[in-house]
Amino acid sequence: MDDNNLKPIFSSRSYLESLFGFCDLCLNLIDCENELFFECETCNNVIVCLGCVKHRTKRLNSHSPDHHFRPGKPQSNTHWMQRNLSIVCNSCREKNFFGKHYQCRQCLNYDICSKCLSKVEHNQHHTFKYISNPIKIHNNRCLLADRALQILKFRNGKPTDRDEITGWSYLEAEIIYLDEMNNYYTAWKEASKILEDDDIDFIPSIIEHEKIALPLILI
């Protein structure tokens, strides 16, 4: 199934470049790298969108009137997901660099990090394209599938019903969720070997069923 031919979400900048989350109360998608979201100070792995906090919706009050929310931010154990594993910048020679990854459209395997993009000495007639981080894509697809499962289950509709954002049915979302969980875990194992000498927390939140920073959500 070619997602890019189905729904705009799969060609959106947030899907291709950022880490997704979704509100535990209204299930709205959150671009956790560029949008403000909140986390419960009392509960683990509960995040909500700005709309639910701003308007003090009934859903927020139903969570627990005594709980308070603070602005959220990606946890330290998501830093490895910002790495471009086994990629070397052809300009500064940094390996496994953080941030965005660009590649020359005309040259074979000519890779550049975001820090060098504006100053790299390269053929002035050549252009660069953004290369999505596959780890982020695994995370986002898993999260989109998790969200679709929750929405379709809540509706208790027909098997042919589909999630509006992804176009996936319940069965399709279930298969994609399991596949991307496996893909994510494989990527995590690879990263733990490649970055074993780095000071990075490699607790795989996905395994602990945490809702953020990984295939379920990000906080």
Give, to the nearest 10 degrees, the angle between helix 134-155 and helix 170-194.
150
pTM of the model: 0.80
| Per-residue confidence (pLDDT) for residue 199, from 0 to 100 | 44
| Per-residue confidence (pLDDT) for residue 8, from 0 to 100 | 92
With tokens 């052809």, the residue in question is 90
Residue 150's Cβ-count burial label (10 Å; 0-12, 13-18, 19+) is: middle
Calpha distance 119→51 (Å, rounded)? 40
178-215 residues labelled b (16+ CB within 10 A) or e (exposed) = eebbebbbebbeebeeebeeeeeeeebbbeeebbbbbb
Topology of the domain comprising 85-132: Wheat Germ Agglutinin (Isolectin 2); domain 1 (3.30.60)
Neighbours of 155 (CB within 10 A): 11
Domain spans in the chain, listed from the N-terminal domain onward:
85-132
| Per-residue confidence (pLDDT) for residue 198, from 0 to 100 | 54
Helix (H, G, I), strand (E, B) or coil at 170: helix
In the structure encoding, which two tokens stand for residue 82, read together?
A: 């910002």
| Per-residue confidence (pLDDT) for residue 213, from 0 to 100 | 40
- Show pLDDT as tens, one digit a residue, over the chain (219 residues): 555 457 899 999 999 999 898 998 889 999 988 999 998 888 877 889 988 888 766 666 677 778 888 898 766 557 778 889 899 999 999 999 999 999 999 998 899 999 999 888 888 889 999 999 998 999 999 999 999 999 998 777 677 899 999 999 999 999 999 999 999 888 888 888 887 655 444 444 444 434 434 443 333
117-127 residues labelled b (16+ CB within 10 A) or e (exposed) = beebebeeeee
The β-bridge partners of 95 are 88
Q: Which of 3, 47, 55 is nearest to 25 (CA)?
A: 47
Instruction: Report H helices in the chain.
Output: 13-17, 50-54, 58-63, 114-117, 134-155, 170-194
| Per-residue confidence (pLDDT) for residue 22, from 0 to 100 | 92
